[in-house]
Amino acid sequence: MAVFTELSCDEVAAFFRALGLGQPRSVRGIMNGIENTNYFVDTDGAEYVLTLFERLTLEQLPFYVHFMKYLAVRGMSVPDPVANADGAILHSLKARPAVVVNRLPGESETGPMAAHCSSVGEFLARLHLTGLDYPRRQANPRGLEWWNEVVPVVGRCVSDRQRLLLASELAFQNEIALSSTYRQLPWGPVHADLFRDNVLFEKGVLSGVFDFYFAGCDAFLFDVAVCLNDWCVDTRTARQDATRVAAFLGAYESVRALTPSEHVLLPAMQRAGAFRFWLSRLCDLPRQAALLKPHDPSHFERMLRVLRGEIASS
Ligand SMILES: Nc1ncnc2c1ncn2[C@@H]1O[C@H](COP(=O)(O)OP(=O)(O)O)[C@@H](O)[C@H]1O
Ligand SMILES: N[C@@H](CCOP(=O)(O)O)C(=O)O
């Protein structure tokens, strides 16, 4: 994301030495992202990403870092955390929890076509199936409980029209969560933030997925909805592109078919996805950092209104 905690080259070199990694020859703060402090660190033998966690705690982090290790060991193109001599993959630096992972190759695709959406759909379904046996459990940190906590707080800083939308959508989502259809949804570890900027492509082939720090256990359909809302939407109008939606869902279902309950609740989950990111972007607005590019909340407000039928969808 950003650099909240500045590190000197000497501090990084000492940390890398303790992990048995080579001498860094370049250390660069990363501008992208919004949650943690990230540096690219190159040694003579390899390229790494060093992350210092700014908000996540030592209680929350094992779920994420072990999930990445679990997927990496099973052949998925995700960051593989570096272990120290004792086998630990979660470390500490500058009084913050820290990890070092391999730098994945490729570039983000900011203007995805149907083929990119297919690759992401297939990857997501494989992630869901592979993760089914992951033994750790932790709730989606940005799920229903969090929405109920933050709506009254952010509601104080928005317009009357926006406050009405927040209250109405929260009531709708609380009602959906109590329904028997919702309780039938397949569930397990989800990425929950699989946006364009968290996926890399090399020569058109998906080469890596990272940023598992909003992962948690939730309905798989929530993950599907988050992806559709980012990968298959026109960023200018917040409207869905039917060709990309079909490509994404076709590829996802070629690996894991959606159940009847998932088909029924997909529109409601897309509203949930838009609501979740509108809320977090509203909450994130005032953060301070040495390098930080905040995300625009109004995009997801517009998308939520489109999905609710308040704005024509085409
Ligand atoms: N394993 C990785 N391989 C390649 N690039 C990475 C990796 N991890 C992070 N990055 C780069 O760092 C940026 C910020 O990472 P991200 O995880 O999105 O930050 P945050 O957790 O703050 O949201 C990404 O946009 C990407 O450029
Ligand atoms: N993807 C989310 C928030 C997290 O941002 P990231 O750059 O760290 O993935 C959003 O777009 O609001």
Per-residue model confidence (pLDDT) at position 293:
61
Check whether 294 has a pLDDT greater than 90: no
* Ligand 2 center–CA 230 separation, angstroms: 11
Q: What is the ipTM of this complex?
A: 0.94
Residue nearest atom 17 in ligand 1 by C-alpha distance: 211
Check whether 310 has a pLDDT greater than 60: yes
Ligand 2 pocket test target in 295, 302, 304 with most atoms within 8 Å of CB: 295
Ligand 2 neighbourhood includes 281 CB (under 6 angstroms): yes
The secondary structure of 195-240 as a DSSP string is -GGGEEEETTEEEEE---TT-EEEEHHHHHHHHHHHHTB-TTT--B
51 alpha carbon, closest ligand? 1
Check whether 286 has a pLDDT greater than 60: no
Of the listed ranges 11-25, 229-243, 275-289, the least confidently predicted one is 275-289
Check whether 28 has a pLDDT greater than 80: yes
Ligand 2 neighbourhood includes 197 CB (under 6 angstroms): yes
Check whether 314 has a pLDDT greater than 60: no
* Ligand 1 center–CA 1 separation, angstroms: 7
Report pTM.
0.94
289 alpha carbon, closest ligand? 1
Instruction: Return the percentage of the chain with pLDDT > 90, whole number.
Output: 90
* Ligand 2 center–CA 34 separation, angstroms: 6
Ligand 2 neighbourhood includes 49 CB (under 6 angstroms): no
114-307 is classed CATH 3.90.1200.10: yes
79 alpha carbon, closest ligand? 1
| CATH 3.30.200.20 location in the chain | 9-102
Ligand 1 neighbourhood includes 38 CB (under 6 angstroms): yes
Per-residue model confidence (pLDDT) at position 312:
73
Once rounded to an integer, what is the mean pLDDT over residues 149-176? 97
Per-residue model confidence (pLDDT) at position 284:
79
φ and ψ at residue 197, rounded to 5 degrees: -80, 5
Check whether 287 has a pLDDT greater than 80: no
Per-residue model confidence (pLDDT) at position 34:
72
| CATH 3.90.1200.10 location in the chain | 114-307
Q: Do residues 101 and 68 make contact, with C-beta atoms less than 8 angstroms apart?
A: yes
Give the residue carrying structure tokens 């229903």: 144
Ligand 2 neighbourhood includes 276 CB (under 6 angstroms): no
Instruction: Return the percentage of the chain with pLDDT > 70, whole number.
Output: 96
Instruction: Give the long-range contacts of residues 60-64, CB within 8 A, separation 24 or more.
Output: 60/138, 60/141, 61/90, 61/97, 62/90, 62/136, 63/136, 63/137, 63/138, 63/215, 63/216, 64/212, 64/213, 64/215
Third-level CATH fold of 9-102: Phosphorylase Kinase; domain 1 (3.30.200)
- Select from 63, 46, 140 the least CA-distant residue to 97: 63
Q: Kindly give the number of the ligand 1 atom that is closest to the alpha carbon of 213.
A: 21
